Amino acid sequence: MALEQVKRHIAELRESINLHNYHYYVLDDPAIPDAGYDRLMRELVRLETAHPELITPESPTQRVGAQPLPEFSDVTHQIPMLSLANAFTAEEVTAFDQRVRDRLDEEDIVYSAETKLDGLAVSVMYDNGKLLQAATRGDGTTGEDVTQNVRTIPIIPLTLIGNDLPERLEVRGEVYMTREGFRKLNENQERRNEKQFANPRNAAAGSLRQLDPRITARRQLTFFAHGVGQYEGTVMPESHIDMLQQLKRWGLPVSPQTKQIHGVQGCLDYYHDIHEIRDNLPYEIDGVVFKVNDFAQQKVLGFVSRAPRWAIAYKFPPEEEITKVIDIEVQVGRTGALTPVARLEPVTVGGVTVTNATLHNEDEIRRKEIWIGDTVIVRRAGDVIPEVVCVIKEQRTPACRKFHMPEYCPACGSDVERMEGEAVARCSGGLYCPAQCIQAILHFSSRRAMNIGGLGEKLVQKLVEKGYIRNVADLYSMTEKELAGLERMGKRSAANLVKAMEKSKQTTLERFLYALGIREVGEATARALARHFGSLEAIQQAEQEQLEAVPDIGHVVASHITTFFNQAHNNKIIQHLLDAGIFWPMVQANQTRLLEGKTFVLTGTLQTMSREEVKQKLLTLGARVSGSVSKKTSFVIAGVDPGSKYDKAQALGVPILDEKDMLEMMKHHQR
């Protein structure tokens, strides 16, 4: 390919890539799939690698790759980047509107309204459509040159789109980080054992001010334009909204929440509407901004001190405040997880009085170095539980003291268990702990455990609240009369529930083990324990090493089992359950896996028992039950109206058993 052809092809590729960036980032309407975009970029990289003399600074390939800077240089803003006056009440916004109307001698003012991003203000200069320079706001007159870093932000075009571009255009806007980008950044920081950021604004500011632009490029920064500074070479639009639309046509992103409104009531309505959706936005905002829309009117209004008279920021109630940690208490959740909670000096955050804040876990307390008595910054976002963001260590006094996680559950006194590699500490008194009572009963009575039909969550909550039951053993002492006396619980329902509880007493050892709710002991582990030891007593008395000898049971699960059975409370409740009449057929240890290595598939309707019952019997005999037929399937058990599995078994030559064959096989293997 001749050099001139290469030049033309490179120019076409750059134009096409810039256009696709515009559709993807600004219009949020991709014109081609990612694979198509990647092909264009790879082709451009190939050609520029072969012809490095044709590489230009505004090429899409040049976003990342500049060398780290020794320091940032200063940039003087030819038109100062002024701050906005703030309003915190509807009365202050009304007063602002009154001042504007009085100065303009107008009855009704048209405003532009937009969200106030919680990010970092920047100025991006374009020369004949090409990105020339970018700078932070700084003190409004002098900022820092962050051109290399801004070039790494994909949403900011290196070259503007269109034929009507001004010779000089200074775009002003906000660099910010989305909530999702912030979450991923802190996850990466944690993996690398590096400092995590307190909030998206700090993360955005810290990322944009990296001396190494390669670090900035990894930080998922983005940008919204909200105005202009210098503007030379073409006729300027007559209003702020028109200007934003023009910037969007040139390829610059603007907030989709920007709209034109009328009068002070329009301002107040917009504020309330945005406040309602605030927590659903993909980025954080701390208020809204109102600007007189007409540029001619803005010029008449002018400036006062360091702020324009034609604009105001209506701030949301602060979501971060300073307070003190009075104490740290530990709450026990329904699953036994212990969560430390900070008791705070009351403080208003986001319009709500906050007295408590979650501390998540012990590691989080250590990482943030939170002591009882510390002065801290508390954050609340919408309905999210408040949390302690950081400690103001300069205000720590000798009276402050470190927090230590309790060794025993504050709700029941059982041992607190925290396994190596886990962040959460847990109570080991699952059957006894009152904090875990409801969850323990629901699990115990579930279909795959003791299968007590009719015992739903609302009923369990009611029984616990009224003091009828405190643990799973109390279930079997409930009478029809007591149950029938509950609200919305008739005699028939009470009788049915008592029958279901009575029926549940006849079970299997593996179901009973699973019903106990021992951490990480699911159905398969319970089955392995029952087959290996043969009796509940043997499992209760087993040492750690004996448990680890069971197939598929490792050190962690074995620790959970020994810790559970070491709690006298748990063993006492188990004995109450056995005394209530729960029993199961004797299991011969290590003698029941006669179908070991065989895989069965069930299809159709069985007459003598349900498919679930058949599955459990097969599992007890050591077989594997699969949901699909393959060449590795040993047998397909077919009931009435078998489906496609039957046809596939025939096609593959897999042996097919009817219900009579199945019963005979089970009878034979249970001898």
DSSP state of 137: -
Residue whose tokens read 């082709």: 43
Which residues are bridge partners to 645 per DSSP? none
Q: Does residue 480 contact residue 418 with C-beta atoms inside 8 Å?
A: no
Cβ neighbours of residue 605 under 8 Å, at least 6 residues apart?
639, 640, 641
Give one DSSP letter per residue of 296-348, joined into a string.
HHHHHH-EETTEETTEEEEEPPPSEEEEEEEEEEEEE-TTSEEEEEEEEEEEE
Distance CA 438, CA 474 (A): 12
Which residues are bridge partners to 263 per DSSP? none
Query: CA 124 → CA 142, 228, 375, 528, distances in Å?
Result: 14, 9, 39, 66
SS3 473: helix
Determine the straight-line distance between the first and last CA of the chain, rounded to whole angstroms: 83
Axis crossing angle, helix 659-669 with helix 611-620, rounded to the nearest 10: 30
Q: Does residue 93 contact residue 261 with C-beta atoms inside 8 Å?
A: no
Distance CA 109, CA 312 (A): 14
Write out the catalytic residue numbers. Answer: 116
Q: Which two tokens stand for residue 212?
A: 């190494």
Q: Does residue 154 contact residue 21 with C-beta atoms inside 8 Å?
A: yes
Distance CA 252, CA 225 (A): 7
Residue whose tokens read 């400036």: 303
DSSP state of 196: P
Of 167, 86, 95, 81, nearest to 132 (Cα)?
167
Q: Which two tokens stand for residue 20?
A: 């696709």
- Hey, how many other C-beta atoms are within 10 angstroms of the C-beta on 115? 24
Cβ burial of 423 (10 Å; 0-12, 13-18, 19+) is exposed
Q: Which two tokens stand for residue 505?
A: 């007493």
Residue whose tokens read 């001010």: 209
Of 431, 409, 438, nearest to 569 (Cα)?
431
